Structure 1
Amino acid sequence: MRYIKWIGAVVGVVLLGGALIFFGNFYSKNSSKVESQKGKTTVNNKVATKKGIKLTGSNSNDQYQSVIKDGNYLVGKARGVTANQNGNQYNTVNFENGLLSLAKKSFSPKSYIFQEGQYLDTKTAQAWLKRKSNDNAVGLNPEDNGKTDDGRNPYYLQSIEEQDFMIQEDNSLKLKGIVLGLAMNTEDVYQKEEFGANFTQKIDDSTRIAKGQEIAAEVVARYRKMEGISADTPIIVGMFSQSSDDSLAGGSFYSYAESKSGTKLSDFKSINEQNVVLPMQEGTKNYKDMASGLNTQFVNFQNNIQGFFPNVSYVTGTANYADKNMTNLKVDITTQFYSQTEMDSFTNYVAQTAPSFLPTNVSVQIRIKTVEGIQAVLVQKSNGKSYDITRLSSD
């Protein structure tokens, strides 16, 4: 199985993405009371540290309130498994963010509370992701048939993610639904001998889809047996297609199904999502008609930035599309600074220039990076007119 290659990069993405998009709820002034285990607890404008379960606030109608337990964010029981199973940080980000977007179709942030997965723990998740064997009867990936060519049984399932959705009843939280993400491989990288060369086995679409549906049915059946999950708790399963380890776009969700009760799954519904890397290379045929106008805007932005500052190495972007409509844009600018004033001036220039070149009708995130890591993050909300800047340099 493949393990993470870019630990520093993934940690940076998780910390930044959470801080700017999701964990930003911690700083909301709308923290609210849910339950107090010891003594009285009153609503205040800060995250409480007393014993009990509380909620973060929400900065907008499309953000979930989340759960604080005993003054700390309630992390998932299988925390870190997704990142540790993935060799591509873009797969990790798209998988986790895309699953949350899928959840919003059934569990509106206006009505439901987000809770990190509390039913699948790390030990169980790791066992499920291994091969089935005499020593691991619960493995969801097929047994090793001993072959080392394209006739071998590949790892089909790469990762699994759980998200729980709650409602508040009196002074407690009640589970109202679970959303599961299953990340399926489009290729499996393996070694014929320990520490040997890497080989890549391609997995065709029809096989990936069929195996994914089999695994989804088994996962739902196992969840129904977990304590605390009733027979009629809705369980939605989203199927994610992993991209190769060297892809700059990352994978995307391609279908989902729901189990309203018992172990029966509905028919899988298609999800039409694409991730387009910018600037598009010459000869690119996929998505050319859909993203050609955006590509022109991006190249003009790239030229403007590189013309302003002499040490810009490259400017790249990833546009996310759903049903041929762009949903968000992420841009990375890699450069070199020799002083804090250079970095500040360049960051301010990017913030002032970007609205003239990049779309304003979707959310845009721009990360300014050096060899030492991310120095600043600029975020424009959908239909926004300016960028909020978060500087991360401690110099």
Structure 2
Amino acid sequence: MLIAGAGIAGPALAYWLHRHGLAATVVERAPAVREGGQTVDLRGAGRAVARKMGLERTLHAHATREEGIRFVDRADHGKAALPSGAFGGRGPVAELEILRADLSRLLYEETRPYTEYLFADEITELSQRDERVRVTFRGGAERVFDLVVAADGAHSRTRDLAFGGPGRPGRPGDAADTRPVGLTTAYFTIPGEPADGRWARWYNAPGGRVVTLRPDNRGTARASLSFLSPPHADEQHEKLVPEAQKQLLHRVFRDAGWETARVLAAMDTAPDFCLDRVSQVRMPRWSHGRVAVLGDAGYCPSPLSGMGTSLALTGAYVLAGELAHHARHERAFTRYEEILRPYAERAQDLPPGVPRVAVPRTRAGIRTLHLVLRAAARPRVAGRLNRFFVPPADTFALPSYSL
């Protein structure tokens, strides 16, 4: 089997396939395991999968140990705070937070002894014939595989080759529906400072702008700049070259206040800068012939959901289990989708008003947000706000597969 993408979903699938006695090859466009990326949450079913993999203790050793999130004003005065234990440890800051790069690297190290990894390459053509899939790689090589799984993210090129997409022919109605939520976000790493502490900080500026700083376990800080934008505009922003994207962010955030000047200055030389329109991916079907989608490539819930990593790990576990327990791939793909789709759809069901409720345009809206957040820290009120702060991570019972 060929898996496109060596992020989280791809190596996790390779792990479970190996446990079931199946071999995998993983192809990745990047020259090595990607080092960039922000903090990700491990929740509910996703954490249960990590436990089944025997990785939970290792993941705890690499956790960022973020103590919670503070919402601050222009002068860095705290207006509200949600500790990591809020909402039973299932709130905005999960009990187990880890850098995406650390999780990806741990999965790679776990699987590389028995998995073929092809870095600095990608799939450029797919042809399904004679009950096999003929694959052409960017480097010019051609190989044949029994199955192909697209696990290369929300902007999956492999998925678009098989199902249709921008500039790609496909079966009518099968192409992915990428739905922007109206928010553009840039992510990057900046030097840490002693005053940063162990709490994440969230700053709202008028005009629908947010600046966040999150501590990590490497002495640096993970920064993000987000702003409300109409769908047609955020698509244009995404297509700009990185230098033009940075210039755009300087214009949007130049008068934002707080620590924004520090963040903008560090952004200019950040090695892992990435700007993306926050989107969800929805597909009418998750497989076409001998090609299937996994994780963000098929059902990205958006970073706003807090569920992307848990869905990736859970999806890998279920897909591998079904492939191992059905002689025909068609039945395995069907069962995989039947089992996981309800869970993915719950994860994609964002709370009403998101993201605008968390990114107010006016000072009055920001004051109201802070009032609500302060109320959310009170036990008597917290239960009424679960819909807004607790992702549906625990609403899925993992199937049991014999190994």
With structure 1 as the length reference, what TM-score do the two structures score? 0.27
Higher relative CO (Cα under 8 Å, sequence separation at least 6) belongs to 2
With structure 2 as the length reference, what TM-score do the two structures score? 0.27
Higher strand share: 1
Higher helix share: 2
